[in-house]
Amino acid sequence: MTSPGSATELDQLILPAIPPVHLNNGQVSALQVTDRFHRGTQIVGRFETSGLAGFKVSAQGRSLRVLLSLSLDERSLAGWHDGKAETAASLPRLVQVRSQGRLRQCVVLKGKRAHARATFDLSPDEIPDDGLICVELLDIMEGDGVCPEVRQAVSGRVMPDGVAGVRLNKVVFEEPPAVDFDPDALDGLRCEHSSLISAGGLANFNRQGVRVLRSGLFVVNPPLKETFGSSGRLTLRLGTKAEPASVIPATWGRVNSELRWMRHATRKLLGMAAPPVKRVLSIRDGNMGVPEERVDGNVTQLVLPSPTNSPFLVIMGPCLGAMPTLESAIAH
């Protein structure tokens, strides 16, 4: 026996993770608490449904930046853990990312190979003396702090039980850098790569350019301090893209058909109206009123205040014969 109490010399010593640290499997001792979360060997783990993972981290009175890598695969189905997996739904998932009891960001995931990132900072007073940092994923319909108006707006638009089977690939704990590179503009894909925008998740983080908004909605997350988007206002440039032709085996007739479709799509885009924004909602507070929009040809410029305490949900209106796109974001 050591000192009086329940601890003995046979008890395993639990070593906290010391930042900067990259955790990419669930067998590390720093993963102390799990709730409806299955530990992995090549990934940190997989959420059975809305659940929690708690990590012991030696913050030593410092602020910490937390980076989460999330993804979907063929096992990301409701009921996967008990052998009663349901057919994959075509609806997107809308997931809350929480830590220390507070909503930090929201993530939209759509497709079998979608990857997304969530990034947020924790101040020293949010990290307890024992260093336990909890990361929760909740479906948008669960928990408190979400406005009922938001839940009503997304009902039927997003997949129920949206956390089921979601992979937690990696967790990074590090000190926030003293200075972040802060460009004036980011293209649509870079916006999602930085976690400022979440529009369905990316299959390839190395791509750049326009982000197609196939889900009909996207989330604008609170930016990190002194990074892109934290200056006070954002202008999102929303465009349109012609719907692709159906995928059928390639033949000479198919080639001619594709050429005719391209000519038709070009003419269509030249006369296409700007994509409409139906509603902008604060996840916490609900309706933000009529959004500030400027239309320039077939481009809508949506002006928003930078989110601070709550992500914003942007719901697009119908674009007949076309898909809305996020061309770029400008911080000012």
**pLDDT given at position 319:** 82
**pLDDT given at position 4:** 43
**pLDDT given at position 205:** 81
- Secondary structure class of 126 (helix, strand, coil): helix
Name residue 95's amino acid.
V
Cis peptide before 291 (omega within 30 of 0): no
**pLDDT given at position 133:** 97
For 288, the token pair is: 């933000």
What's the gap between Cα 313 and its chain centre? 12
**pLDDT given at position 259:** 59
- Count of Cβ atoms closer than 10 Å to residue 51 Cβ: 21
195 phi and psi angles, rounded to 5 deg: 75, 5
328 phi and psi angles, rounded to 5 deg: -165, 170
d(CA 42, CA 48): 17
pLDDT along the chain (332 residues), means of 10: 47 81 95 96 96 95 96 83 65 97 96 93 95 97 96 95 96 87 85 95 88 95 90 93 59 57 50 84 93 90 94 92 92 88
